[in-house]
Structure 1
Amino acid sequence: MKTKRVKFWAFLLVCSFGLLLYRLADIQLFSTEKFGDEQVNLLEQSVKQQSSSINLTSGRGELLDRNGQSLGKSQVKDIVLFPLIQTIGLPQSFKNLLEAETISLTDIETELKEPTYLSEMIGEEIDSDLYNEVKNRKIPGVMAVERSLLADPEIGQHFLGIVRENPNAYYNRYDESPILTDPKPIGISGLQKAFDPFLQSDNSKKLLYQVDGKGNPMLGLNVRYIGEQDPFYPVQLKTTMDLPIQNMAEKVVDNNGLEKGGLVLLDIESREVLAMVSRPSINSESPYQNQSIVNQMLVPFYPGSIFKTVVAAAAIENNTESLNRTYDCNTNLYGDEPSERKLGTLNFQQSFAQSCNNAFGTIGSKLVNANPQIFEEYTEKLGLLGPVGWTGDVFRYSNFKQFPAEKKGRVWGNKYDRNVEKAIRQTSIGQKDVKVTPLAVANMMATIANNGEKQYVRAVTDILYQNNTTMYTFKANKDNSNRIKSDTALRLQGLLEKVVTDGTGRSLDGLGVAGKSGTAETGQKGAYHHWFAGYFPKQNPKYAMVVVDLYQTDTDAQTYPVYKEVVQNINEMNGVSND
């Protein structure tokens, strides 16, 4: 009996010992790179436990303007202080250098717990002389380095977007386990957010040093540089932004005191965004406070008389009678009381130029009574309701959007309003429930200037590898399946030209501009949305532009001054006279 018991326990011991040996072999030999249900890389994790590091680059992709100039990323010189100096003390030679630069670092030997940039400790950039001195000397625990800073863009903030550290959002966005990967900064707006999956990269560059079991620096081990030079990653986004024009446009907007609103400038032929300005600027400390992160150029607003362009297009193609009669423009929108603006009796062309509400209320009423869907049909033909941003399949991303934050516009808020005379008339002049985005309005003007050719708007033309070879090209995305006739576009061009020469846009006369003004009630007393949308030069048009000053009084609106100054500056850049 005793012999059986001894054999049984001996068997259990052998089995247990065998299991332990197998477990150790699995950890040490068999599953070193994919261990357990979480597929943990034990080699990488062991290195992390035995070392500490500081990033020289985030490894994130870079944004370029249309000419290849870097946007929002800079190379700076800095000095790294390692916890090694806790053990050996701050070298006197380095103290002397700091004193020469009048830099005071109190109790640095005891307070330094991890590798830290000197610039962050003193709150300013490192002097080049100090950097060169440290670089030319071998000072224990101190190293001169060059690093890339991924800062918020100084211009084009809403267009380019910003990046922030948010581990929870990172794991939710990419559905990755915290055990498997370190969270990386993510784009939270603009192109940084739209193209975040492409801009993410593991190719960060670091300075690495060894630590003991308690995390203290080990003496005698040199700091090592890690991060391979990769010819492909991280990628670069070649945006459509024209940096000199963007810079100029932002200065014009700010110098004229436009506080809420902005502008969109498109290249008519390619439908590329050359400049996009949104105000107010992003609050870097609290981006979501007061919705400062929102790009106003992608948000729908009441367009006012801008919408008369849609009504005019519908009338040209469907109701020639409206084009050949006159209208009493001394009466209001409903034709039952005197108008605040006494314009007299005007024909169709004059009514458009002077923005006569009674004329377009009357025309719109006839059009809708004959075809209740006509406004939707012509906003579609002109590409006004959107979204108008480039959309398509990119690798494994179906329906990829370059402007994911772009909102869709609308014509009717209530389907029964098509049967209500006053609602039809209000809708005909871009009030009631009509809302469109500035980007869509700019694209509509480009469509008209390009003889009715519809096309989606691009913000990025290429994704490039590090060696400047092309990873992906976003080709022009045209849509001519449902458009206005070329003759209609030509007639609209004539109407838009008349607005500037003989109508509400006369302050822009002489600059070669054609366009339409709009002043929309907002529901706030004394506050209106002030628009001007058009294109230039009117002969061989190249640019389409919208300027909108939101929630502004009539006397303080800066729409025309901004529009005029931007056009003048672009003309000068192109060597065109402003006479």
Structure 2
Amino acid sequence: MTKELRRISIVLLAMFLVLFGSTSIIQVAQAQNLAANPADRRSLYDSYSIERGAIIASGTAIASSVPSSDVYSWQRQYVDPQMWAPVTGYFNPVLGSSTGIENAMNQDLSGTGGSQFLARLEQIISGKPARGSNVVLTLDASVQKAAYDALGSLQGAVVAIEPSTGRILAMVTSPSYDTNSLAGHDATQVNTTYDQLVAQATNPLYNRAIGGNLNPPGSTFKLVTASAALATGNYTPQSLLPNVASYTLPGTSTSISNDTGGTCGPGDQVSIADALRLSCNIPMAELAAQLGGETIRKEAEKYGFNTSFDLPITSTASVYPSNLSDTRAALSGFGQGDVRATPLQMAMVSAGIANGGVVMKPRMVDQVIGSDLSVQQTFGNEQFGQALDSTLDAEMVQMMVANVSSGIATNARIDGVSVGGKTGTAQNGPTDPYTLWFTGFAPAENPKVAVAVVVENGGGRGQSGSGNSLAAPIAKKVMEAVLGK
């Protein structure tokens, strides 16, 4: 071989290696970023010819693709669409829009994720038709149905979590919508349906479980206030607070009262445990004023307040503001004023207490599985933080159990099961309907589920309903579904 030919060979080899390296970087290392880029129209067009992967819950596909006779090749189809709408969302190639898991896991479902490069290469070599991967959810279909049926036509939401892992077992919102109606390929019809849904005053497109217009958590937030007090080391469940029938908020002439209009039981003083059990507002406002807003905020953030979570659906952060005045801090002690929360957040509070004070990050996906049934990705459990040490947390558990066994959360009782819980009846204005809450867990000794329920618009009862009368029975049915009762 002549010297010149050798040089040319070396240059060609170098060029080939550079080209191979560049294409490998683009197709592997940068694949996910490129596929996620909205300007990448080729990925969008390629996805039309690919059979989109299924979304699976409890071994059954709740979202899948069926052949269509138009240019888009495949039509997305949903099972029990209204029940699963806040989970699956919808996918529409005509409008280039998607929500829910369809959006959050789009790269995996469409087969364009970086982890699927080898699978795509194998499909090309073998001549097999391209297909996206399946997404296996953490949600339990039987628990989802129990939550959906229990909530019924009430406006609100339900979230159930496995305390030790953070795995979401159920996510229901009402009113809901038919995801199939927004997945069709007739753009005019879909746009008309979408506009009709947006125009409804009840906002059926909202996922109230993790977002929408956030509600004051009412008395369910008393759990965070009590937790903050114990965490300081200066209070115990038996610490006493003044027991009065009227309390003037610090720095104001505005007075508040307990729901009963009287004192929190007999005596001139009441313990934190009894104030929680009887869900009295005044003692918790007094306690919050003593603690101060910053102490409560720091504890609230240990449970997840002021943090948005990627489930992978992105949740709206629940709110506990910084630098509250003494007046606003006192109101926050019983979940009023400036505090706002999602059912996901209040389920995390109960889950953290149920789990020895350890708060787990919530998640909705277990695995991504290829069309050949190979496991391409597994999602593990991840700790978010430690809200309380185990000794103090055990005291919170005891107080929550007392709320259900001998307090005002009696409608969450389950025969033969020790249940912990807390109700809430949040005010929204002088004449506005209440927002009704329950959050809790079961069984107390070895918790399998933590749940939060919100019923908006007073459950149709204006200001006559309560968390115990409407929200607690819903939570009971969800917990029973998990426990097989």
TM-score, length-normalised on structure 1? 0.62
Select which of 264, 280, 284 maps to 1:356.
Answer: 280
Q: Which residue pairs with 2:232 in the alignment?
A: 318
Mark the CA change 1:568 to 1:470 in structure 2 (over 3 Å): closer, same or farther: closer
Task: Measure how far apart 1:333 and its partner are.
Answer: 6.5
Alpha-carbon distance in structure 1 between the residues aligned to 2:328 and 2:457: 23
Q: Which residue pairs with 1:242 in the alignment?
A: 140
Q: Does 1:72 align with 2:63?
A: yes
Contact 1:264 1:276 in 2 (8 A): yes
Q: Which residue pairs with 1:501 in the alignment?
A: 405
1:281-296 alignment runs, 5 A limit: 281-282=176-177, 284=181, 285-286=193-194, 287-290=197-200, 291-296=203-208
Q: Which residue pairs with 2:20 in the alignment?
A: none
Q: Which residue pairs with 1:30 in the alignment?
A: none
RMSD: 3.2
Task: Measure how far apart 1:472 and its partner are.
Answer: 1.5
Query: Helix, strand or coil: the match of 1:500?
Result: helix
Select which of 391, 395, 408 maps to 1:491.
Answer: 395
**Which residue identity is paired with 2:318?**
G
Alpha-carbon distance in structure 1 between the residues aligned to 2:40 and 2:249: 72
Alpha-carbon distance in structure 2 between the residues aligned to 1:279 and 1:251: 11
Select which of 149, 158, 162 maps to 1:263.
Answer: 158
In structure 1, list runs of 5 or more residues that go unmatched: 1-37, 46-54, 81-113, 118-146, 171-185, 203-226, 391-401
Task: Measure how far apart 1:475 and its partner are.
Answer: 1.6
Contact 2:414 2:480 in 1 (8 A): no
Stretch of structure 1 that moved more, 279-288 or 332-341: 332-341
Select which of 43, 60, 63 maps to 2:55.
Answer: 63
Q: Which residue pairs with 1:450 in the alignment?
A: 355
**Which residue identity is paired with 2:104?**
A
Stretch of structure 1 that moved more, 347-356 or 290-299: 290-299
Query: Helix, strand or coil: the match of 2:219?
Result: helix
Mark the CA change 1:115 to 1:506 in structure 2 (over 3 Å): closer, same or farther: closer
Select which of 376, 380, 387 maps to 1:475.
Answer: 380
Contact 1:302 1:436 in 2 (8 A): yes
Stretch of structure 1 that moved more, 245-254 or 445-454: 245-254
Q: Does 1:328 align with 2:227?
A: no
Alpha-carbon distance in structure 1 between the residues aligned to 2:77 and 2:241: 60
In structure 2, list runs of 5 or more residues that go unmatched: 1-38, 113-125, 182-192
Query: Helix, strand or coil: the match of 1:451?
Result: coil
Q: Which residue pairs with 2:168 in the alignment?
A: 273
Q: Deviations over 1:105-145 (max 9, x none)?
A: xxxxxxxxx8999xxxxxxxxxxxxxxxxxxxxxxxxxxxx
The percentage of counterpart residues that share the same residue type is 21
Contact 2:258 2:280 in 1 (8 A): no
Q: Does 1:530 align with 2:447?
A: no
Query: Helix, strand or coil: the match of 2:288?
Result: helix
Task: Measure how far apart 1:332 and its partner are.
Answer: 4.4
Q: Which residue pairs with 1:411 in the alignment?
A: 320
Alpha-carbon distance in structure 1 between the residues aligned to 2:71 and 2:249: 73
**Which residue identity is paired with 1:316?**
L
Contact 1:388 1:443 in 2 (8 A): no
Task: Measure how far apart 1:457 and its partner are.
Answer: 0.7
| Structure 1 residue ranges (4+ consecutive) displaced by more than 6 angstroms after TM superposition | 38-41, 114-117
Q: Which residue pairs with 1:229 in the alignment?
A: 128
**Which residue identity is paired with 1:233?**
R
Contact 2:438 2:472 in 1 (8 A): yes
Alpha-carbon distance in structure 1 between the residues aligned to 2:101 and 2:373: 19
Q: Does 1:545 align with 2:451?
A: yes
Alpha-carbon distance in structure 2 between the residues aligned to 1:339 and 1:374: 24
1:121-520 alignment runs, 5 A limit: 149-151=76-78, 153-167=81-95, 170=96, 186-187=97-98, 189-201=99-111, 229-230=128-129, 233-254=131-152, 257-258=153-154, 260-282=155-177, 284=181, 285-286=193-194, 287-290=197-200, 291-299=203-211, 300-318=214-232, 320-321=234-235, 323-332=238-247, 334=249, 339-341=258-260, 342=262, 343-344=264-265, 345=267, 346-368=270-292, 372-390=293-311, 402-404=312-314, 406-412=315-321, 415=323, 417-418=324-325, 421-480=326-385, 482-511=386-415, 512-520=418-426
Q: Deviations over 1:304-351 (max 9, x none)?
A: 111111111111122535742243153347496764512333322111
Structure with greater Cα Rg: 1
Task: Measure how far apart 1:197 and its partner are.
Answer: 2.5
Alpha-carbon distance in structure 2 between the residues aligned to 1:73 and 1:484: 43
Alpha-carbon distance in structure 1 between the residues aligned to 2:40 and 2:395: 66
